[in-house]
Amino acid sequence: FHTLDHVDVKGKRVLVRVDLNVPVENGVVTDSTRIERIGPAITELADKGAKVILLSHFGRPKGVDPKQSLKPVAAEVARIIKRKVAFAADCIGEVAEKAVAAMHSGDILCLENTRFHAGEEKNDPAFVAQLAKLGDIWVNDAFSAAHRAHASTEGLGHKLPAYAGRAMQEELVALTRALEKPERPLAAIVGGAKISTKLELLGNLLEKVDALIIGGAMANTFLLAQGKKMGKSLVEADLVATAQKIMALAKAAKRDIVLPVDVVVAQKFEANAPSRVVDIDAVGDNDMVLDIGPRSVEQAVSVLARAKTLVWNGPFGAFEMEPFDKGTVSVAEAAAELTQAGKLVTVAGGGDTVAALNVAGTTDRFTYVSAAGGAFLEWLEGKALPGVEVLRAK
């Protein structure tokens, strides 16, 4: 990869693809993680005398939609990086060209939502050319959008000299350390609701990890496949055969699949609904499994204590509702302690996972928490990401 260490940006117009697709409620950014991550590349470029032009999508608009303008997000970028950030109401054409022409070295300009133009998602060469006109080089600092082969995330890399930004570099280093060249034993935690959405991920991880700890409702389907009664729990009955196949494959490859041995059940999925811990063989007909129990926590922690690297995607239980966050929080706390003691490299990612680790208050004590959702999953699935590949080609 070429990085910002390999280019003299002084006086150059640098198109920086960032991911400003952040959660916004009533015009207020509610989670600035992604903005904080891109701060270093932006300020470094500005300090080195570049004209920094930020490009990003926001939401999934169909054409121009004022409700999905990047303007309030650009203001949040300015607040967080403590620099002036100008805004242009279009990302191509006269408006954008004039705004860029007016820039001086060290200036920062944010262009409007790239998805206001259909050419963005189509990776249309004509649209790519219009964007490319605005810059001398392209920096991709949006790992979390790198699974999209769009004009600003991929197309530009074929038109302009391409470099990885600092946040992109950091993501790639962390993910490589976790999955490509991990210190072993390597353990993975995969949780979340459905096996069906994580089949490829399970397949790829089983080839790479020494132990796979399964949590969340997807564990229910594996348990059902082992003949356990799951009561009214969320299960994917049509995937029982698939779950059996995965367990057989794991056994043949001598990989451990770690499933809950006790669970927290309730009869209603409501905050503070009466709940109890039961052995995995004692789930009643009206019970709903909503979290793992203390023995399962211990079991997961003992796997982590023997591991050197952990990859984590997906919570153990219904963490968004107390007290069903307890399993996730307890394992996260143990993982954070092992990390701080220098015994475990911990890399986590995916939308829900980041939210769960924030609930657990352990995000800052993990080795690395990815800012990516879909891109992190595709990476775990072993897929090549177009926005990363285009950097590799250079």
- Residue positions in the annotated binding site? 19-21, 34, 57-60, 115, 148, 198, 320, 350-353
Could you say whether residue 353 binds ligand 3PG (CB under 6 A)? no
- Of 145 and 334, nearer to ligand 3PG (C-beta) is 145
138-157 binders of ligand 3PG (CB under 6 A) = 144-145, 148
- Of 9 and 372, nearer to ligand 3PG (C-beta) is 372
Place of tokens 């999508």: 57
Per DSSP, 112 falls in state -
Asked if 194 is an active-site residue, the reply is yes
Q: How far is the CB of 115 from ligand 3PG (least distance, A)?
A: 8
Binding-site residues for substrate: 19-21, 34, 57-60, 115, 148
Q: Please give the distance of CA 315 from its chain centroid, rounded to a whole number.
A: 14
Q: How far is the CB of 34 from ligand 3PG (least distance, A)?
A: 8
Asked if 71 is an active-site residue, the reply is no
Q: Which two tokens stand for residue 272?
A: 């503070």
How far apart (Å, rounded) are the C-alpha atoms in residues 246 and 244?
5
Q: Give the amino acid at 207.
A: E
Tell me which of 61, 106, 374, 382 binds ligand 3PG, using CB under 6 A. 374
The catalytic position among 49, 231, 374, 382 is 374
How far apart (Å, rounded) are the C-alpha atoms in residues 393 and 39?
26
Place of tokens 């959405």: 197
Q: How far is the CB of 145 from ligand 3PG (least distance, A)?
A: 5
Binding-site residues for (2R)-3-phosphoglycerate: 34, 115, 148
In the bound state, the residue with its beta carbon closest to ligand 3PG is 21
Contacts of 110 (CB under 8 A, 6+ apart): 20, 53, 54, 56, 70, 73, 74, 77, 85, 86, 87, 88
Q: Are 48 and 9 in contact (CB under 8 A)?
A: yes
Contacts of 146 (CB under 8 A, 6+ apart): 140, 153, 168, 372, 375, 385, 386, 387, 388
Asked if 326 is an active-site residue, the reply is no
28-87 binders of ligand 3PG (CB under 6 A) = 60
Could you say whether residue 255 binds ligand 3PG (CB under 6 A)? no
Catalytic site positions: 34, 194, 351, 374
Q: Which residues bind ligand 3PG (CB under 6 A)?
A: 19, 21, 60, 144-145, 148, 373-374
